[in-house]
Amino acid sequence: MVIKKDGSRSTFDRDKVIKSLQIALRKRPVDEEQIERIVNGIHRRLESLGENEVPSKLIGELVMDVLIGMDQVAYLRYASVYRNFREAKDFGDFLGKMGRQGDD
């Protein structure tokens, strides 16, 4: 069961995760099979927690963890929606943080 931001609950929706990955990875060198493997891995990680309910935020963070190591463009696309950037400044601040993390 997934606990959404508004507190409501729903079942884990693989298709929703797949669609969000497809959007982030559009025109990137990643095929559908790889996306399936990513979603399977995320689902396994969630199951391994042994919890009946997980916050949607955790699912988003797991997706971002995979994308940052896979494709930075896709990571930025996903992050811009997930983090709900409202202004160009928000996006710029995020890029700055990302650049500083890459320097470590």
Mean pLDDT score, 21-32: 94
Confidence bin at 7 (pLDDT 50/70/90): very high
Statement: residue 100 has pLDDT above 80: no
- The rounded distance, in Å, linking the Cα atoms of 75 and 46 is 20
The predicted pLDDT at position 75 comes to 85
- C-alpha distance from residue 37 to each of 33, 42, 49 (Å): 6, 9, 19
- C-alpha distance from residue 47 to each of 1, 11, 42 (Å): 11, 13, 9
Kindly report, residue by residue over 38-63, the tens digit of the pLDDT. Answer: 999 999 999 999 999 999 999 999 99
